[in-house]
């Protein structure tokens, strides 16, 4: 049942909102976590977690499980065709996590959700925030659940609602930063890959960049700059990238 009052209302159960929920659970702070989606997205998004992020996540009690699901890589290379221009060895990082942790974002989110459940928490799904109004005591947030409008009063509201954040727009916070000019194509594919599943490779080519990174399920994440990148690339699009740049 969706509470009507809370100390902290977190809008958005992506990695940011879920990480905050875990921290607030651990600190014993009353909060409510909502998301408009019925379940987390299963699309390809972030694929690597770096050492410093893992150190930050350590107190949340998720790194062991992330580690079990992930592929850990120590090698990164910048290549021109099959010639290595630069090689980096992550095993030399002064960290308890001296590697690149390859893990698709949907699995990272699954681990965070499991941790919230283990702490006795709930993600209130299919609850969409529609309006945020601040007053002297905090904020009132209008949400829609099962087609019905409800009001949640919170001392604090956290906008973890992603790129098009309603919270940011409602509170008049400017988008502080810049968007990339380049357009990117992204695909998770099965490859006959001579480099093998032990290295993240970045290819420099006159036509643009290509990154090839192995994933834990044996597939490879391919990301490349591309003018007018197709939203749903075909095999031929990816093969053409390798033929011209890889």
How far apart CA 104 and CA 98 sit, in angstroms, is 19
- Tell me the residue number closest to ligand FAD, measured at CB: 14
Q: Is 157 in the site for ligand FAD (CB under 6 A)?
A: no
Q: Is 139 in the site for ligand FAD (CB under 6 A)?
A: no
Number of residues forming the site for ligand FAD (CB under 6 A): 23
Q: How far is the CB of 160 from ligand FAD (least distance, A)?
A: 5
Stretch that binds ligand FAD, among 15-23, 75-83, 92-100, 237-245 (CB under 6 A): 15-23
Q: Is 142 in the site for ligand FAD (CB under 6 A)?
A: no
Residue 95, both tokens: 């960290």
Q: Is 115 in the site for ligand FAD (CB under 6 A)?
A: no
How far apart CA 217 and CA 146 sit, in angstroms, is 36
Q: Spell out the residues 6+ positions from residue 139 whose beta carbon is closer than 8 angstroms to its own.
A: 9, 132, 133, 153, 154, 156, 157
* Burial classification of residue 3, based on how many CB atoms lie within 10 Å of its CB (0-12 exposed, 13-18 middle, 19 or more buried): middle
Contact pick of 119, 186, 229, 240 for ligand FAD (by CB under 6 A): 186
How far apart CA 204 and CA 225 sit, in angstroms, is 11
Stretch that binds ligand FAD, among 45-53, 60-68, 149-157, 234-242 (CB under 6 A): 45-53
Q: How far is the CB of 106 from ligand FAD (least distance, A)?
A: 10
- Nearer to ligand FAD by C-beta: 107 or 160? 160
Q: Is 159 in the site for ligand FAD (CB under 6 A)?
A: no
Contact pick of 6, 63, 75, 105 for ligand FAD (by CB under 6 A): 105
CA dihedral 11, 21, 178, 105 (to 10 degrees): -110
Q: In what order do the strands lie in the sheet with 127-135?
A: 123-125, 31-35, 5-11, 148-159, 138-145, 127-135
Q: Contact 137/155 with Cβ under 8 angstroms? A: yes
Q: How far is the CB of 223 from ligand FAD (least distance, A)?
A: 7
Q: How far is the CB of 162 from ligand FAD (least distance, A)?
A: 3
How far apart CA 25 and CA 46 sit, in angstroms, is 25
Residue pointed to by tokens 């075909």: 234
Contact pick of 23, 46, 117, 131 for ligand FAD (by CB under 6 A): 46
Residues near ligand FAD (CB under 6 A): 11-17, 34-37, 45-47, 105, 128-129, 160-163, 166, 186
């Amino acid at each position: 049942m969706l509470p009507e009052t809370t100390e902290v209302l977190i809008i958005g159960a992506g990695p940011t909102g879920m990480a905050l929920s875990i921290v607030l659970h651990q600190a014993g702070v009353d909060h409510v976590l909502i998301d408009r989606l019925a379940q987390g997205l299963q699309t390809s998004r972030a694929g690597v977690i770096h050492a410093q992020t893992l150190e930050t996540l350590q107190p949340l009690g998720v790194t062991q499980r992330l580690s079990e699901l992930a592929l850990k890589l120590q090698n990164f290379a910048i290549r021109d065709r099959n010639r290595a221009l630069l090689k980096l060895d992550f095993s030399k990082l002064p960290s308890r996590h001296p590697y690149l942790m390859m893990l698709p974002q949907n699995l990272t989110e699954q681990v965070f959700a499991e941790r919230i459940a283990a702490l006795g928490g709930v993600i209130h799904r299919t609850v969409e925030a529609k309006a945020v109004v601040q007053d002297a005591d905090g904020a009132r947030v209008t949400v829609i659940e099962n087609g019905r409008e409800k009001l949640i009063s919170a001392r604090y509201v956290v906008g973890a609602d992603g790129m098009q954040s309603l919270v940011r727009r409602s509170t008049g916070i400017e988008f502080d930063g810049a968007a990339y000019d380049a357009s990117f194509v992204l695909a998770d594919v099965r490859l006959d890959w001579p480099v093998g599943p032990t290295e993240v490779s970045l290819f420099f080519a006159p036509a643009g960049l290509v990154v090839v990174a192995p994933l834990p399920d044996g597939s490879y994440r391919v990301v490349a700059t591309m003018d007018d990148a197709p939203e749903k690339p075909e095999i031929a699009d990816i093969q053409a990238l390798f033929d011209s740049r890889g």
